[in-house]
Structure 1
Amino acid sequence: MAEKSKILIIGATGCIGKYVVEASAKVGHPTFAFVRESTLNFNPVEAKLVDHFKSIGVTILHGDLYCHESLVNAIKQVDVVISTLGAMELADQVFIITAIKEVVNIKRFFPSEFGMDVDKVNAVEPIKSMFAEKAQIRRAIEAEGIPYTYVSCDSFVSFLLPTLVYLEPGATAPPRDKILILGDGNVKAVFNEERDIATYTIKAVDDPRTLNKTLYIKPPKNTLSFNELVAMWEKMIGKTVEKIYIPEKQILKDIKTSPVPINILLALNHTTFVKGDQTSFEIDPLFRVEASELYPDVKYTTVEEYLGRFV
């Protein structure tokens, strides 16, 4: 059996990074988490998470994205680099690219994607610029000839399903009386549980079928329209809810007049549920592959199973 690649996760304590770390360690990859010293000194929640990483056999490497020497020293110890950095640090992944080029031993780089395919979107601001930053990182990786895999997982269930996309502050469960539906409700979107995203990502690390391709995570049971989501919820709670459809013109107006972060969430919802940018194209097997087809052994969490937690 081939030796498992040594994996470095940069952004290891973030919302998706922590799951990637766990998924890597779980299946026996020598796993390294790149962590700032300040994380341990000033953030007790993340410090506790780092202690958990240590308990499952993860090696903690201290350093900083903006310290070239620490990046190079960390990357020298591994075969694969996975970035799970957040939105504010996307453009700064150029520092990772520079370090990888210097080290030259990296078999694969996974930049921080973990959303829609940024080469397929028709987004408006304020997320248009964020998608453009991801696309620029892709072009930089390709220009440098770095082996890569881009992970396109579309929507995190924890961001949208607990309230059925309802942005009311303080809401913790889907509405049972009235639901706002973006657009006509017929556009299909994709919803994935974060642990499943991490599992598929780690599956792809040593898989030649995912080399220099985009790995889409589009399980068939998790590809649903807004109307289908609402119908599923109604069946679960045993009642019909009032449906209010919000036209695109109103959504675009709300994006321009809403404060941060509501405007960001509205813009994401617009590209997802109105423009249909998650499902409006075919997957070309020459450049793209689909995770649930490649790895049918993975038992992913379905939307129905996830929504059932709120009944």
Structure 2
Amino acid sequence: MAVETGVLILGSTGYIGKFVALAAAAESGVKAYALVSKATQAKPERAEVLQKLRSAGIQFLEGDINDHASLVAALKRVTVVISCVGFSAHNDQPKILEAAKEAGTITRFLPSDFAFALSKETIAAFGDVHPRFTLKEPTAEAANKSGIPYTFIWANLFGAYAEMALGRQMPMQNDEIDVYGTDKKIVAVDEGDIGRYTIKAALDPRAANKTVRLEPPRNAVTQSELIALCEKLRGKTYKKRDATAEMLVEEYKNSNEEVSFFACLRYAFWISGDHTQPKREGDLSTAELYPDLEYKSIEAILRP
């Protein structure tokens, strides 16, 4: 009888965490666990997702990222730990590595990143790095120092946010689109596919101490292609206005953190083309690692 690989997911009831947890449960040869606190179990709004995870066969272990003893006990049950915690807990992730070293069983750690790296061009345009992109730095430093093999996931654009990438102003209350007129491309990835790619990478020895970029080859589109697809699939015509990189820089400098974050993203998407920037040393692509893995097309992602 084959030995199952124990995989523990933290943040399994969060937006991307549930997709990763369900993918772990569906993966052959994996025993999926989720660290769930008493507080989370008591929240009525989490009841539906908890039941879905339970029905998928995921075993709940009671604990919390800030409860060292419970975290160590949970990690001793597995060899792979995947963090899917939200922004507010990103700076707590070095605690996972501390507990993993004490547990002594962990052969792979995947931190909660699920984004992409800003290019030098994007950072230079704004004169700094947006706070949401700096949150991962302490975890990356701790992972490099820990001696525990790690894998970072470069997820590009969550499928549910593909329409947001069009160029609509925040908040998105109308159908007006800012068109930047470049040939840069975004890469959209369905959330279920993010989960599947993540689990594949977590178990793949080739991905140890690497960044795995999720790149479904047919899901890379320019803004004009994305607009045309949305208009065709949604049966609407967007009102378009010519926009510039300078407008995004101005919006970034004169907006609150939430709005400035989206200005930064649009610059990275349509001005710098950060999704498809050249691979850095240590980057791997899912197009090469898992060429036969079926994925949801950009058309299916956008279809209402």
Q: With structure 1 as the length reference, what TM-score do the two structures score?
A: 0.88
Q: CA deviation at 1:55?
A: 1.5
CA gap of 1:139–1:180, structure 2 versus 1, over 3 A, is same
Residues in 2 aligned to 1:218 and 1:225: alpha-carbon distance in whole angstroms: 15
Unaligned runs of 5+ in 1: none
1:166 is matched with 168
1:111 is matched with 111
CA gap of 1:84–1:63, structure 2 versus 1, over 3 A, is same
1:212 is matched with 209
Q: Check whether the contact 1:216–1:291 (CA below 8 A) recurs between aligned residues.
A: yes
Asked if 1:76 corresponds to 2:71, the answer is no
Residues in 1 aligned to 2:20 and 2:188: alpha-carbon distance in whole angstroms: 18
Q: Check whether the contact 2:119–2:274 (CA below 8 A) recurs between aligned residues.
A: no
- Aligned Cα root-mean-square deviation (Å): 2.5
Could you tell me which amino acid in structure 2 is paired with residue 298 of structure 1? L
CA gap of 1:206–1:250, structure 2 versus 1, over 3 A, is same
CA displacement, residues 168-191 of structure 1 (integer Å, 9 cap, x when unaligned): 5465xx94xx4222x333221211
2:178 is matched with 180
CA gap of 1:82–1:120, structure 2 versus 1, over 3 A, is farther
For residues 1-311 of structure 1, the aligned pairs below 5 Å read 3-28=3-28, 29-41=30-42, 43-117=43-117, 122-123=122-123, 124=126, 128-161=130-163, 164-169=166-171, 175=175, 178-181=176-179, 183-236=180-233, 241-282=238-279, 284=281, 287-307=282-302, 309-310=303-304
Q: Secondary structure at the match of 1:15?
A: coil
Q: CA deviation at 1:122?
A: 3.6
Unaligned runs of 5+ in 2: none
Q: CA deviation at 1:139?
A: 1.9
How many residue pairs end up in the alignment? 301
CA gap of 1:239–1:30, structure 2 versus 1, over 3 A, is closer
Q: CA deviation at 1:234?
A: 4.1
Q: Check whether the contact 2:87–2:135 (CA below 8 A) recurs between aligned residues.
A: no
9-18 vs 269-278, which moves further: 269-278
Residues in 1 aligned to 2:251 and 2:278: alpha-carbon distance in whole angstroms: 27
Q: Check whether the contact 1:111–1:150 (CA below 8 A) recurs between aligned residues.
A: yes
Q: Secondary structure at the match of 2:60?
A: strand
CA displacement, residues 45-76 of structure 1 (integer Å, 9 cap, x when unaligned): 21221122112211111111111111111111
How many percent of aligned residue pairs carry the same amino acid?
34
Q: Check whether the contact 2:25–2:58 (CA below 8 A) recurs between aligned residues.
A: yes
130-139 vs 24-33, which moves further: 130-139
Residues in 2 aligned to 1:31 and 1:179: alpha-carbon distance in whole angstroms: 42
Q: Check whether the contact 1:10–1:82 (CA below 8 A) recurs between aligned residues.
A: yes
CA displacement, residues 83-131 of structure 1 (integer Å, 9 cap, x when unaligned): 0111121111011111111112101000111010368784448862332
Q: Check whether the contact 2:170–2:259 (CA below 8 A) recurs between aligned residues.
A: no
